[in-house]
Chain A
Amino acid sequence: MEYSVIILLLPLCMFLFLGLAGHKLSERVAGILGTIGLTVTTVVAYMVAFNYFTMPRNAEGVFDTLQPINLEWLRFTEHLHIDLGILLDPISVMMLVVITTVSLMVHIYSLGYMHGEKGFQRYYAFLSLFSFSMLGLVVATNIFQMYIFWELVGVSSYLLIGFYYTKPAAVSASKKAFIVTRFADLGFLIGILILSFFTETFDFQTLMSNPSSLVTETAGMTFMGCSVAAWAMALIFMGGAGKSAMFPLHIWLPDAMEGPTPVSALIHAATMVVAGVYLVARLFPMYCAVPEVLELITWVGAITALYAAVVACVQTDIKRVLAFSTISQIAFMMVALGVAFNTDLHAGLGYMASMFHLFTHAMFKALLFLGAGCIIHAVHSNEMSEMGNLRKYMPVTHITFLIACLAIAGIPPFSGFFSKDEILTAAFEKSAFWGVWMTAVAGLTAFYMFRLYYRIFWWSKPSYEHHTPHEAPMSMYLPLVFLALVTCVAGFIPFGEFVSVNGEAYHIHLDWSVATTSIIVALLGIALATWMYFSENTRPKALADKFRALHTAAYHRFYMDELYMWVTHKIIFQRICRPIAWFDRHVVDGTMNMLATVTNGVSYGIRKLQSGYIQWYVWVFIMGALLIAVLAMCF
């Protein structure tokens, strides 16, 4: 399948072309060109997926892992070398489909949404850059290639969040996103270095052929009470936690909503933020060798899921609600990976569940964001208080949004039900504690999503005096309809046949006791939301007053941002940066200034050497030669 390289090259060429020559094209041509480029990419990705999954399974009943291309790029030592290539295995092929589908929808949607924006061509160039980097990330053949594309994804996310670079909020949000994820990537890099130092390879396939190599190589070595292997894997997870906005590194994602809404749908809901989940899934056999890190992943995921769900219940900016819901749902995937304790087909159910949820979530969350984009487009505000009763004005958006809400709440037969059910089953299999915890979070999910739904489409009718909201143009609602259709049917895909923890076919069967519980809990959440938000009333306010402290704390996201501010300003800036700055200004700069002064002085003093007289030149020449000869003889 050498042709799969087109999937990477085409978006790259599009980026270079639109980036270099975009300003010479008209808006329309640039947009359509970018969309056509991605359409072709999508078609090729689908072809790869089709050819890959129709391939006969090998003797062990799993799909072969293919490496159609793998070029050596930089060689460090005999064993360590960075390669650039394409790795096709079930999860990378699945990711190719997800990324290209959502990216194509966003490309089409943006034709309408970004119409008339300044820098339209630049926007499409960045979208292509992002698609290239994200696709490169998932097909990486080795962890260093993944790291390279990981950073590229971070850069393109930074560029797109800060797309409205004249808006101070967007600029600071883009910086925040970049710095927080970069900080996490520092851990990732250190993890990679430890890992490769001991295993002497970057290559995924070599690592997977002997997943316990890291543990055996570092046997007996500990650092601060933990084994070195655990440190390495935990640091790598830190990178994933940063990208996937896990608590406490989640603070950048809500602010990232300052970017254009389609960008939020693509990067901050469907693709880039699940890179962390993908990273853990990619290295899953190695994580199984260090169960304490899996435990850590479960805890981080569970706390994040609960925290984000609580915060989402009281936010009033619709994109922020969706952002926190994204954080919470990704945490579901992390928990699912954490509770899968080994690579046995059944014990590793969480792995399959996590990938399944990644797939369905990408579709319905992109749908929610694109729907939110239509709403914002219509009422020119992100605030719930400016909305209400919109079902009459925007029927298509209303229906598709409702489908997505039902899916995320876990109501059958929509896709979210099936994947979430697998996650809950996996959690219950690990222990009842995690099962109950995650079921409760699922109930909260249903509540806050329907709160959002009712506040937008029902509630009271605000007076739309200045202008009446109207349905979005066709380029915007077609992607909604397509994604809604996918959300309706995706649950029936026999996902376990394609992706499972050890590659063998897994027949998904619903555990009815778990399913019934989760449906009841979800319905309870929806019922509560209906009671509170179906039509305008004072119940929400009364409840908020009753739990004043909790409500205020949740509204301020439990003061996490303030805590970060305090730590950076009072501790890092005052206690650490100040002394360093002093050292830099006086000692480092002083040395450099001295070097410069000396250089300048000497350079002035010796200028007479270059006199222009040939006699002098020859004199220096012969003296130089003799001096060298004499000195060499002396030593």
Chain B
Amino acid sequence: MDYSQFLVMRGEISLLVVFLLIFLIDTFGGQKSLKGLSVAACVLFGLHTIWNIIPAESASAFGGMYQISPIASLVKTVLNIGTLIVLLQSISWVDTPDVKLRRGEFYELLLVTLFGMYLMVSSGHFLLFFIGLETASLPMAALIAINKKDTESYEAGAKYLFTAVFSSALFLLGLSFLYGVSGTLYFDDIAVNIATNHTPLLIATIAFVLAGMGFKLSLVPFHLWTADVYQGAPTQVTSYLSVISKGSAAFALMLILYKVFSLDPVVWQGIMWALIVLTITLGNLFAIRQKNLKRFLAFSSISQAGYIMLGIIAGSAQGMTALVYYVLVYIFSNLAAFGVISSIEHHSGKVGMDDYNGLYKTNPKLSVVMMLAMFSLAGIPPFAGFFSKFFIFASAIHSGFYILVLIALLNTIISLYYYLLVVKAMFINNENEGCAIASFRSDNGSRVSLIVCVAGILLLGIASCVYGYFTDLSLLGI
């Protein structure tokens, strides 16, 4: 066997090294070194991010099982940045008594799921893809249930596990249909073999594959687990679940649709059309009524997933660029919101929207960060969220989906309402009375992460070179 093929997997290997180092420290390190584990994880992961920041060239290994392209490599970097922010935000959280004993597991499980996502993003064969999908899903259930003393966390873990297993089963069913239709599981070969073979079986395949991925992306109607799990899971895990897991799944879905079903996009575009409308609208409708901020962000992230899908349905290089860009901006905006929520939860244990009334009086800086995050999520110019929405709408318009974009636009009005509710609570409500949350100083890890997020929100849209760079990479093809 030609071992040099492993060199193509640069990102995976360095992630594995980080994982093993943390595993070693966790297993053999003394009490003292365990205390530094959180910082060590951030530093190691930061090095891993920098090491992989230059996109890899297109290559394939192991007979086409593993395929890497510049844009896939960029997606990994985007995921890395998001994961790094999550790690920064969890520095103080892993030292709380409930989690302290299991902090090693937190990092190991997290990195394993990321490894799974890496495999999904750069696989060329459905077997590898499925392994990646499972690696990204099952340890997540353990992460969600990591807080042993919290029954809600347990319930959330169980719900996630059941739904994940169920969706995997459906996905596998789809795969076996696909094998039946095409006689192979290599992406490239399937694309060739199904070109002339339009059976109902193929359509069922597409539906089941979409359902399986729809679970990871929490598309309606495969979204019902989302709110309960987001609410029950520790906030750090929720934020990881809502951005990193979702971002990787979005790209993976695009990979499958572009590579495998590229010859006949009309079939899946019709399905996607309906899914997007349902997802954006229902996500919004549920978000309006939420009083718990984590639950609120769960529904907001459902409707955001719908917007991300607009890049996929466009079916063009422009859509691919817009999708990756959207995910990057979404990472910054959503993690800024989750960073504020987790800080406040850490210090006061409060997550209700009413508790945030008058927050500006006690914690002005956090309120401003939260406001920027909400503005960016709602897509108000000149923040990055506006540009990402603009580009993703533009890509869908260019492919002719006018009505779909119109519906999406109407939905942004509804979403503006509930995002501004949070801003109103912080700045306008209880102007003269006190706030339920006392003034506090958040930990340094959260501060750094929030500064990074705010810089991203403010600068990503204006620095147009970022989008230009993404365009250049995506024109090289997946």
A residues lining the B interface (CB < 8 Å): 71-75, 592, 595-596, 599-600, 602-604, 606-607, 609-610, 612, 614, 616-618, 620-626, 628-629, 631-633, 635
Contact = CB atoms under 8 A, between A and B. Distances in A.
Given A632-B267, A633-B200, A606 B224 contact: no
A599 B285 contact: yes
B215 A621 contact: yes
B207 A632 contact: yes
B308 interface: no
A600 B274 CA distance: 22
B304 to A, nearest CB: 18
B410 interface: yes
Contact of B289 (A592, A595, A604, A618): A604
Interface string B279-315: 0001011101100000000000000000000000000
A624 B286 contact: no
A24 to B, nearest CB: 15
Contacts of A618: 162-163, 166
Contacts of A595: 410, 413-414
B163 A632 contact: no
A78 to B, nearest CB: 13
Contact of A617 (B163, B208, B274, B275): B163
Interface residues of B, number: 41
Interface string B54-73: 00000000000000000000
Contact of A603 (B222, B289, B410): B289
Contacts, number: 93
A607 B465 CA distance: 43
10 shortest interchain CB distances as A-B pairs: A624-B221, A629-B207, A625-B211, A617-B224, A603-B285, A628-B207, A629-B204, A632-B203, A603-B288, A633-B200
A628 B228 contact: no
Contacts of B289: 603-604, 607
Nearest to B210: A628
B196 interface: no
Interface centre among B267, B285, B286 (most CB of A within 10 A): B285
Interface of B: 158-159, 162-163, 166-167, 170, 200, 203-204, 206-208, 210-211, 215, 220-222, 224-225, 227-228, 267, 270-271, 274-275, 282, 284-286, 288-289, 410, 413-414, 417, 464-465, 468
B464 A603 contact: no
Contacts of B221: 620-621, 623-624
Nearest to A607: B289
Contacts of B225: 614, 617
Nearest to A71: B465
B451 to A, nearest CB: 14
A631 to B, nearest CB: 8
Nearest to A606: B285
A635 B286 CA distance: 30
Nearest to B211: A625
Contact of A635 (B206, B228, B270): B270
A72 B468 contact: yes
A632 B206 contact: yes
A202 to B, nearest CB: 15
Contacts of B286: 603, 606-607, 610
Contacts of B200: 633
A475 to B, nearest CB: 36
B271 A632 contact: yes
A631 B204 CA distance: 10
Contacts of B162: 614, 618
Given A614-B162, A635-B270, A602 B222 contact: no
Contacts of A617: 159, 163, 224-225
B208 A629 contact: yes
18 contacts: A73-B464, A74-B464, A75-B464, A595-B410, A596-B417, A602-B285, A603-B285, A606-B282, A606-B285, A606-B286, A614-B158, A617-B163, A618-B162, A620-B224, A621-B211, A621-B215, A621-B222, A629-B207
Given A73-B464, A607-B289, A621 B207 contact: no
B288 A621 contact: no
A632 B270 contact: yes
B339 to A, nearest CB: 21
Contact of B211 (A71, A600, A624): A624
Interface centre among A74, A618, A629 (most CB of B within 10 A): A629
A76 to B, nearest CB: 11
A606 B224 CA distance: 12
A595 B158 CA distance: 38
Given A610-B227, A617-B159, A628-B274, A75 B285 contact: no
A629 B167 CA distance: 15
A348 to B, nearest CB: 38
A603 B410 CA distance: 16
Given A75-B464, A599-B414, A629-B203, 9 more contacts: A73-B464, A74-B464, A607-B286, A610-B224, A618-B162, A620-B224, A621-B163, A621-B167, A624-B222
A603 B303 CA distance: 14
B227 A614 contact: no
Given A603-B289, A607-B289, A609-B224, A622 B207 contact: no
Nearest to A626: B207
A96 to B, nearest CB: 25
Contacts of A612: 228
Nearest to B278: A624
Contacts of B464: 72-75
Nearest to B295: A610
Contacts of B170: 621-622, 625
A600 B222 contact: no
A422 B275 CA distance: 72
A622 B211 CA distance: 9
Contacts of B417: 596
A436 B228 CA distance: 85
Contacts of A596: 417
B151 to A, nearest CB: 14
Nearest to B224: A617
A604 to B, nearest CB: 7
A612 B155 CA distance: 10
Nearest to B159: A614
Contacts of B224: 609-610, 616-617, 620-621
Contacts of B228: 612
Contact of A614 (B163, B275, B288): B163
Contacts of A622: 166, 170
B342 to A, nearest CB: 23
A610 B283 CA distance: 11
Contacts of A626: 207
Interface centre among A609, A624, A625, A633 (most CB of B within 10 A): A625
A71 B463 CA distance: 11
A439 to B, nearest CB: 51
Nearest to A619: B224
Contacts of B159: 614, 617
A75 B167 contact: no
Contacts of A616: 224
Contacts of B288: 599-600, 603
A314 B121 CA distance: 78
Given A617-B159, A635-B270, A75 B207 contact: no
B223 to A, nearest CB: 9
Nearest to A74: B464
B55 to A, nearest CB: 21
Contacts of A625: 170, 207-208, 210-211, 222
A614 B285 CA distance: 21
B471 to A, nearest CB: 9
A618 B167 CA distance: 9
A590 to B, nearest CB: 15
A633 B282 contact: no
Contacts of A633: 200, 203-204
Contacts of B414: 595, 599
Nearest to A621: B222
Nearest to B225: A617
Interface centre among B159, B163, B203 (most CB of A within 10 A): B203
